[in-house]
């Protein structure tokens, strides 16, 4: 029996050996595939991490405006540019904080040959305009060797001219709009409309003048006279600033401080401006530094994103009722 089944044992032995080799090969393949999968997973993990860090770096760069202040490697002089565009107001792009910060940075740079404040503004807040004017005078006194000139583009009126009056010189285009040295306070009265609609105004105050110029109440002559007096005071402050800034160059006329506006050509005749010029021509011909570097504060990514969703809608609605501006 032993001899009869010996070949069966040999076959079983060979079969068992093949089974063991097959299992070993499968395990080896599985182990190799697992290692390869781990390597691929690590590579993709590193890739997505780098992609995420790159995305964050771009967002931070946009939010913080990195790299906007180029450094001068060769020590050559340049013209520093600061822009004031649009209506001057505390929560707008043309506000005192932004303009003053840019002016200070421009004056403090040791490579600055001169500073140009480029204005394209119809006016705005007398407070913001006055703050900028005062700081311009302070910077001129602190840095007497660095000239500060204003270059007017389309409009430099009212609050815009309030700011410009603090400069060493004012340059315009012959068709620029300059002047409007006056103050206004405007709003709307809804009393007639409310009566037609059957709406009753219920206003309770502690203080007889607390409802000053309420648009839903009939106009009070005493309040009206007080508002005119206040406007006259601010108007006189405006006139004093212009006279102080322009000095003997100013050729006063009876209607100079009436709120009228003039062309750039006429403003030179009246002494409201000094001559014709653009940013490039002033940098090249006056400062002898044709390289212009922009120090203006720009909106970062977060501010632009917020504005798209109407962050200033409430302020705009409030301004519809009562506005108090230099324009």
Q: What is the pLDDT of residues 97-133, one digit of tens each?
A: 999 999 999 999 999 999 999 999 999 999 999 999 9
Question: Among the residues of the chain, which ranges form H helices?
Answer: 6-64, 96-108, 126-142, 159-164, 191-197, 221-246, 264-270, 279-281, 301-308, 313-321
- Residue 222: pLDDT above 60? yes
Across the range 260-279, mean pLDDT stands at 95
**Buried b / exposed e across 276-306, counting CB within 10 Å, b at 16+?**
ebbbeebbbebbebeebbbbbbeeeeeeeee
- Determine the Cα–Cα distance for residues 299 and 305; give it in Å rounded to an integer: 10
Per-residue pLDDT tens for 274-317? 999 999 999 999 999 999 999 998 766 555 555 554 555 555 55
Q: In this model, does residue 69 exceed pLDDT 50?
A: no
Q: To the nearest whole number, what is the mean pLDDT of the chain?
A: 82
DSSP 8-state secondary structure symbol assigned to residue 248: G
Tokens representing residue 97 in the block: 């904080």
Q: How many CB atoms lie within 10 A of CB 127?
A: 16
Q: Which domains does the chain have, with CATH numbers?
A: 78-201+213-325 (3.90.226.10)
Q: Supply 130's token pair.
A: 């006055």
Spatial distance between the Cα atoms of 109 and 79, rounded to a whole number of angstroms: 11
**Would you state the pLDDT for residue 310?**
52
Stretch 205-217: mean pLDDT: 80
Most confident of 7-11, 117-121, 187-191, 192-196: 117-121
> In this predicted model, what pLDDT tens digit does every residue of 141-157 receive, in sequence order?
999 999 999 999 999 99
Q: Are 227 and 184 in contact (CB under 8 A)?
A: no
Whether residue 26 has pLDDT greater than 80: no
């Amino acid at each position: 029996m032993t001899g009869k089944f010996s070949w069966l044992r040999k076959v079983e032995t060979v079969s068992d050996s093949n089974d063991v080799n097959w299992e070993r090969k499968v395990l080896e393949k599985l182990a190799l595939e697992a290692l390869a999968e781990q390597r691929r997973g690590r590579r993709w993990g590193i890739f997505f991490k780098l992609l995420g860090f790159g995305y964050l770096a771009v967002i931070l760069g946009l939010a913080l405006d990195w790299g906007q202040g180029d450094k001068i490697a060769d020590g050559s002089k340049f013209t520093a540019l600061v822009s004031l565009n649009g209506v001057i107001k505390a929560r707008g792009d043309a506000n005192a904080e932004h303009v003053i910060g840019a002016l200070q940075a421009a004056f403090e740079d040791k490579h600055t040959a001169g500073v140009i404040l480029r204005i394209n503004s119809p006016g705005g807040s007398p407070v913001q305009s006055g703050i900028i004017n005062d700081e311009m005078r302070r910077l001129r006194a602190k840095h007497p060797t660095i000239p500060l000139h204003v270059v007017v583009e389309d409009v430099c009126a009212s609050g815009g001219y309030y700011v410009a009056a603090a400069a060493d010189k004012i340059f315009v285009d012959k068709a620029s709009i300059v002047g409007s040295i006056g103050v206004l306070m405007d709003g709307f009265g809804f009393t007639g409309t409310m009566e037609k609609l059957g709406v009753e105004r219920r206003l309770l105050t502690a203080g007889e003048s607390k409802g000053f110029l309420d648009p839903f109440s009939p106009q009070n002559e005493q309040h009206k006279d007080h508002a005119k007096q206040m406007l006259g005071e601010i108007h006189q402050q405006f006139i004093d600033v212009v006279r102080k800034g322009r000095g003997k160059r100013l050729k006063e006329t009876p209607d100079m401080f009436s709120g009228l506006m003039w062309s750039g050509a006429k403003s030179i005749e009246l002494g409201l401006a000094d001559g014709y010029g653009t940013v490039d021509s002033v940098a090249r011909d006056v400062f002898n530094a044709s390289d212009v570097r922009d120090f203006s504060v720009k909106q970062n990514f977060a501010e632009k994103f917020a504005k798209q969703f109407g962050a200033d809608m409430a302020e705009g609605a409030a301004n519809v009722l009562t506005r108090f501006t230099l324009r």
